[in-house]
């Protein structure tokens, strides 16, 4: 998590505090179930308790913080139900994005998507876990960008923030990355052939397969 330095920006202090705390929750700096102590946070950041209190209210609205009566603010946890709900939404969004990409993706973007897929294969061969995740993220983000649908892109970006919260658990789904290669290939092939429905089904099956692996990994925890 980046150091808090309000001097280097013109943003309002309350926004800086909110962004700092939100990133702390998403990155895991603030652990699920951890109590957020206003006095300690204010002292650490060198601010009054007012922007801390405002940030906690906003974080509560986003579901990142829960307020316990007479106990204070705590970082919310993500249950298996929460995670599976994220997968359900993401599966629907990925299917829609792939279908639109098959109609709207430019030839240059298709070449970029193919290159990313090849990079993914290289990372798999090297067992480079961080590279695998980075290439996989680039792969899916390019598909969303190619839809030219700003609302869909925005929703996906918001969902990505939630995905970051269980990134450590989600890594378990990448323990068998070889199986992701043919799934990516089917998506790319459908986009190249400009067959929206085939692309939709390939993307949905890809996410369903990832969800199945993820659920299996949870059962082992």
Are 215 and 173 within 8 A, CB to CB? no
CA 107, distance to chain mean position in Å, is 27
Residue 170: the pLDDT is 58
Residue 168: the pLDDT is 54
Residue 169: the pLDDT is 57
* 3-state SS string for 117-183: HHHHHHHHHHCCHHHHHHHHHHHHHHHHHCCCCHHHHHHHHHHHHHHHHCHHHHHHHHCCHHHHHHH
Q: Name the pTM for this structure.
A: 0.74
Q: Identify the three-state secondary structure at position 64.
A: coil
- Residuewise pLDDT in 10s, the chain (221 residues): 556 766 556 788 999 999 999 989 887 889 889 999 999 999 999 999 999 999 999 999 888 899 999 899 999 887 778 788 888 999 999 999 999 999 999 999 999 999 999 999 999 999 888 898 889 989 999 999 999 999 999 999 888 877 777 655 555 555 677 888 999 999 999 999 999 999 999 999 999 988 887 777 666 55
* Distance of alpha carbon 169 from alpha carbon 171, whole angstroms: 5
Residue 194: the pLDDT is 98
Q: Report the CATH fold assignment for 80-219.
A: 1.20.120
Q: Which of 72, 67, 78 is nearest to 28 (CA)?
A: 78
Distances (CA, A) of 34 to 38, 75, 126: 13, 5, 37
Q: Please list the residue range(s) of the chain that carry CATH number 1.20.120.530.
A: 80-219
Q: Please list the residue range(s) of the chain that carry CATH number 1.10.10.10.
A: 6-75
Residue 201: the pLDDT is 98
CATH class of 6-75: mainly alpha
Residue 16: the pLDDT is 93
Are 189 and 173 within 8 A, CB to CB? no
Cβ neighbours of residue 219 closer than 8 Å, sequence gap 6 or more: none
């Amino acid at each position: 998590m980046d150091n808090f330095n309000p001097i280097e920006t013109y943003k309002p202090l309350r926004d800086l505090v909110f962004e700092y705390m939100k990133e702390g929750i998403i990155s895991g700096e603030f652990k699920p179930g951890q109590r957020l102590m206003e006095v300690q946070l204010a002292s650490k950041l060198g601010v009054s308790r007012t922007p801390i209190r405002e940030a906690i209210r906003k974080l509560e609205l986003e579901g990142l913080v829960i307020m316990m009566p007479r106990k204070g603010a705590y970082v919310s946890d993500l249950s298996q139900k929460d995670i599976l709900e994220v997968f359900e939404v993401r599966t629907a969004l990925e299917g829609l994005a792939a279908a639109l990409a098959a109609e709207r993706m430019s030839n240059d973007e298709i070449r970029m998507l193919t290159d990313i897929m090849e990079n993914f294969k290289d990372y798999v061969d090297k067992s480079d876990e961080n590279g695998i995740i980075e290439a996989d993220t680039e792969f899916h983000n390019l598909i969303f960008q190619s839809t030219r649908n700003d609302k869909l892109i925005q929703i996906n970006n918001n969902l990505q923030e939630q995905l970051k919260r269980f990134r450590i658990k989600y890594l378990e789904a990448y323990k068998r990355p070889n199986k992701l290669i043919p799934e990516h290939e089917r998506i790319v092939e459908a986009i190249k052939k400009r067959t929206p429905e085939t692309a939709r089904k390939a993307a949905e099956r890809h996410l369903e397969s990832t969800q199945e692996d993820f659920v299996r990994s949870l059962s082992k925890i």
